[in-house]
Amino acid sequence: MASRTRPLNLWAAVTAAALGCLTLGTAVVVARQSGSLIPLPADWAAVRFTLLQAALSALISCVLAIPVARALARRCFAGRSLLITLMGAPFLLPTIVAVLGLLAIFGRAGAVNDLVAWVGLPRLSIYGLHGVVLAHVFLNLPLAVRMILLGWQGIPAERFRLAASLGLTPAAMTRHLELPMLRAVLPGAALVIFVLCLTSFAVALTLGGGPRATTVELAIYQALRFDYDPARAASLALMQFTLCALAAAAGWAVAREGGFGAGLDRPAPITAPGGWRRIADAAAITLAAAFLLIPLAAIVYRGVPGVVDLPTGLPQAMARSVAVALASTLLTGVAALTLALAVAARTKGATLFEAAAMLPLAASGLVLGTGLFLLVRPFARPEDLALPVTVLVNATLALPFVYRLLMPQARALHANYDRLAQSLGLSGWHRLAWVTLPRLSRPLGFGLGVAAALSMGDLGVITLFAGERGVTLPLLVHRLMGSYRMEAAASAALILVCASFALFALFDWMGRRAAP
């Protein structure tokens, strides 16, 4: 049906152009300034390590997630839906807090090493490849569980009923129902985690390092901060951009499905086998919960005593972080809403707008940061622009998540109510206030909450720009760790994680409250 052609949406075009400049423009800046285009041996080592740790993290997360997701899919127990909700939390957990929690358990003086020493074995070091992979599995196992659980819940209950009525054994049921689902779901889940680990910076910064455990992202930081070698940082950034662009292109179709959807807490519809399988399921759930919860409990345990005597500069760092989070959330929200509405309405250029909204998936914080660093350096001192740049980069990186959360509802809104709104002559601000925002408030509140928490806990581009002063809360935690003030770091981390979740809960609550 030939609908009325819609004029190009100017705001969406401006937003898309800004995103293009930020992601592709910085890449061009980086490419122009890169030194020799022939990478050094150390650069290749960084690329190899980056790919290796991302692949191992994705593989291990997915393999461990299978029994946990299956147990959650087919068992009913008290606290099941709470546990599934908690599985969404590590996505919002500031990385530096997760690392601190893992150090408390697996670090040199952690509980696991105490046990190892007690048995009489030499203490293990958490630093290096296995530490990086451990942290990435900790951060991404819940994401893998949720994605695979969605796959399990996507198998129609009738299918299981049919299998049961045919008297299939548990092994046959696995072969005919569960393996096909896993074949469809696992590659996507692994790819999403692989991409996330490719650009992970804070984990490599704290647990990696040295010639054998440096990611490209970390190498960029070191080239810029320690070697003062912008040309080398630029050529590394170019390599990282290429890696991310390739991975994002591979993951394009997969990543379009959000990793955290609604409808995860319906009761288990599957009739579960008893016997030893019941015990195995209980073990899987218990082990996963312990692995995820004990490090967090350690932060609370270590952090609470120090809360009465907070490190100096914490209130200021907190205020800066909240301001950065709110500003970048506002920016992301406006940009994501503008693009989502334009794409849902299929305005001219909608395909380009959709591509622009996905572009940041191919970007990394440090590549954007390097580009901006090189751009502003001739005109201003980078530390003077640390906070605005952080706002801009955080807003850019969060945009695809918010956009994807908004898109289904935006499409439904357009399909159901666009003609009615048009026939009543509703347009512009009035339409936004009376129709669009009320109808989209739930996904918008949730998306803004995610953006705010991600920005609040981000330890990325700020490390490139920050000077002695002007630190954010995650950077303060990192610096306290660097000076081995672990108790103070734990207290600051505890406050950071509370603030992140409070911001998320606040936006989510506002969205729910505004919803009809």
Partner 1 sequence: MLHLDHLDLSLPDFSLTADWQVPDCARVAIIGPSGAGKSTLLNAIAGFVVPTAGRIRWDGQDLAPLSPGDRPVSILFQDQNLFPHLTLTQNIGLGLSSRLRLTAQDQANIARALDRVGLSGLGQRRPAQLSGGQQGRAALARALLRARPLLLLDEPFAALGPALKSEMLDLVAAVADETGATVLMVTHDPDDAQRFADQTVLLADGLALAPVATRDLFANPPQALRDYLG
Question: Binding residues for partner 1, per CB under 8 A?
Answer: 1-5, 416-417, 419-420, 422-427, 430-431, 434-435, 438-439, 515-516
Query: Taking the complex as a whole, how short is the minimal distance between the CB of residue 424 and partner 1, in angstroms?
Result: 5
Phi, psi at residue 168, to the nearest 5°?
A: -65, 145
Q: Of 70 and 414, which CB lies nearer to partner 1 in the complex structure?
A: 414
The distance of Cα 366 from the centroid of its chain, to the nearest Å, equals 15
- Of 7 and 167, which has the nearer Cβ to partner 1? 7
- Alpha helix (H) ranges present in 304-434? 314-344, 350-358, 365-376, 386-423, 428-431
Nearer Cβ to partner 1 (77/434)? 434
In terms of CB distance, is 1 or 308 closer to partner 1? 1
By beta-carbon proximity to partner 1, the closer residue of 232 and 442 is: 442
**Measured from the CB atom, is 3 or 165 closer to partner 1?**
3
Catalogue the long-range contacts made by 435-440 (C-beta closer than 8 Å, 24 or more residues apart): 436/337, 436/341, 437/514, 438/514, 438/515, 438/516, 439/409, 439/413, 439/516, 440/337, 440/406, 440/409, 440/410, 440/413
Shortest distance, CB of residue 434 to partner 1, whole angstroms? Answer: 6
Alpha-carbon distance of 328 to 322, in angstroms, equals: 10
Rounded to a whole number of angstroms, the minimum distance from the CB of residue 92 to partner 1 is 28
* CB 345, min distance to partner 1, A: 13
Choice between 165 and 423, CB closer to partner 1: 423
Note whether 494 and 422 are within 8 A (CB): no
Q: What is the CA radius of gyration of the chain?
A: 24
Smallest gap, in angstroms, from Cβ of residue 340 to partner 1?
18
Residue closer to partner 1 (CB basis): 32 or 430: 430
Report the nearest approach of partner 1 to the CB of residue 348 (Å).
14
Q: How far is residue 465's CA from residue 373's CA, in Å, rounded to a whole number? A: 8
Minimum distance from CB of 429 to partner 1 (Å)?
9
Task: Give the shortest CB-436-to-partner 1 separation in angstroms.
Answer: 11
Query: Do the beta carbons of residue 123 and residue 117 sit within 8 Å?
Result: yes
Whole-angstrom CA distances from 149 to 91, 120, 143, 160 are 16, 40, 10, 15
φ, ψ of residue 269 to 5 degrees: the values are: -90, -5
How far is CA 429 from each of CA 402, 426, 432, 434, 443, rounded to the nearest angstrom?
21, 9, 5, 8, 20
